Amino acid sequence: MKIAQVSKEKKVSIDSLRYYERIGLIPPVKRTAGGIRDYSEQDLRWLDFMIAARSAGVSIEPLIDYVQLCAEGFHTFPARRDLWEDECDLLEERILGLQETLAQMKAKAEYYDWMLKG
């Protein structure tokens, strides 16, 4: 799949896709003989995961580290596991914080419902 198709399908700008590859957020995308990026299904899976991780608040640095570890081979499995354990802990903290904020906002809405009925 060409970069314009990927951009449209994934709702990510072409510049962002190039940037992701340049900084190592996704592995290098194979190119045609003419130098045009040709995204494979595997490339799209990487991109989907990175988009999902970023939307969940995962920082770019550990994602780049993960791509590098994967490129180094199977011997990096322990480091990959450790990376994801750390990121899961951080994500759980963010989720708890969001749940607390949501509860506070619901309480405020209920208070105003009570006041308006009052």
- Concatenated DSSP letters for 21-35? HHHTSSPPPPB-TTS
Other beta carbons within 10 Å of 68:
13
User: What is the pLDDT at residue 102?
Assistant: 98
CATH number at residue 21: 1.10.1660.10
Q: Is 40 left (phi over 0), alpha (psi -120 to 50) or beta?
A: beta
Each residue's pLDDT tens digit, 19-78: 999 999 999 999 999 999 999 999 999 999 999 999 999 999 999 999 999 999 999 999
Domain count, the chain: 1
DSSP bridge pairs for 37? 31
DSSP bridge pairs for 31? 37
Half-sphere exposure of 26 (CA within 13 A, CB side): 26
Which residues are within 8 A (CB) of 1 and not within 5 positions of it... i.e. 6 or more apart? Answer: 9, 38, 39, 40, 44
Domain limits for position 43: 3-117
pLDDT over 90 at 118, yes or no:
no
